[in-house]
Amino acid sequence: MILFENEPMSKHTSFKVGGPARFFVKAETVEDLKAAMTLGREKGLPYFILGNGTNLLVSDKGFDGIIVTLAGEFSTIEDLGNGAFKIGAAVPLGRFARTTLKQGYAGIHKLAGIPGTLGGAIYMNAGAYGQEIGCCCTTATVLDCDGNIREVSNADCGFGYRQSIFQKNKVTILSATFQLPVASAQGKTANDLEAELTECMAKRKATQPLNMPNAGSTFKRLTTGAADTPTQIAPGYYIEQAGLKGHRIGGAEVSTLHANFIVNAGGATAKDIKELSEFVQARVAEKFGIELKREIILLGNFE
């Protein structure tokens, strides 16, 4: 296990903010993970599993605990044949999506532009352009707090919109298996999938502030109305209608390109970003009576 002390989290988050983690562990094996958990118990410190830090806001004061990032044996893609794959939690989602796309498998190819890891994607049930990681996932293998490795079936993963059971039960996701549909069964070729992905990537480029540090959508989409006739509420629409595009607190700014993104426009602190997100919530609630729920995860002490 590779251990750093007082590691600045601004180096490990897409917002490029966040103070030091008291301990920062790079775990390359399950034994490393268990050693990190033991260290936590011995020192009485909490631990937190980090993916690629692309959905995360870490406090300026940092995290008085152990942050664990996965590498080594968690970085492999195993082709099990006939569209079945076993993917390590540290594998970038883009690598997984592109590898399977090239082999003519559909199902997750439109997720290639999401900048997180497989572990982060399972935890968040990441999705885009009508696809969600949970849809093709058959099992997730996890390490629980007692050091036991368990296999969780898709039905028990509790996948929903940006939801999984792992947000309630604290475990480390080690890997997941997938069964992907072959594109030819849908009358498509690998080239067709590539064209669909190119279109999704172009949409991202045109609508998202990819040239500025951010953590994707600040707020979750909301659903209202009767269960059989639901209405989707896109937070960006209401934020824009509230006149908040370009609104700034310190170095944090509501993106002028996409109102549901907060960007670090230069020198932002985590406090700026959190305050701006709360300001947006308050304004949208006041103007439209809509309660926006944060998608971005907060870590550390913001008091």
Ligand X SMILES: Cc1cc2nc3c(=O)[nH]c(=O)nc-3n(C[C@H](O)[C@H](O)[C@H](O)COP(=O)(O)OP(=O)(O)OC[C@H]3O[C@@H](n4cnc5c(N)ncnc54)[C@H](O)[C@@H]3O)c2cc1C
217 as an active site residue: the answer is yes
Three-class DSSP category at 195: helix
- The terminus-to-terminus CA distance of the chain in angstroms comes to 32
C-beta closer to ligand X: residue 220 or 287? 220
Exposure string for 115-129, b = 16+ CB within 10 A, e = fewer: bbbbbbbbbbbbbbe
196 as an active site residue: the answer is no
State the minimum distance, in angstroms, from the CB of residue 288 to ligand X.
24
C-beta closer to ligand X: residue 185 or 266? 266
Q: Determine which one of 162, 164, 175, 253 is catalytic.
A: 162
CA separation for the pair 278, 264 (Å, rounded): 16
On the 0-12 / 13-18 / 19+ scale of CB atoms within 10 A, 94 is middle
How many residues appear in the chain? 303
Partners of 95 in the β-ladder: none
State the minimum distance, in angstroms, from the CB of residue 114 to ligand X.
4
State the minimum distance, in angstroms, from the CB of residue 4 to ligand X.
17
Q: Determine which one of 217, 253, 255, 277 is catalytic.
A: 217
C-beta closer to ligand X: residue 288 or 302? 302
State the minimum distance, in angstroms, from the CB of residue 120 to ligand X.
2
C-beta closer to ligand X: residue 89 or 106? 89
**Other C-beta atoms lying within 10 Å of the C-beta of residue 91:** 22
Residues that bind ligand X (CB under 6 A): 14, 48-56, 70, 89, 114-117, 119-121, 123-124, 126-128, 166, 172-173, 208, 210, 214-216, 297
Residues marked as catalytic: 162, 217, 295
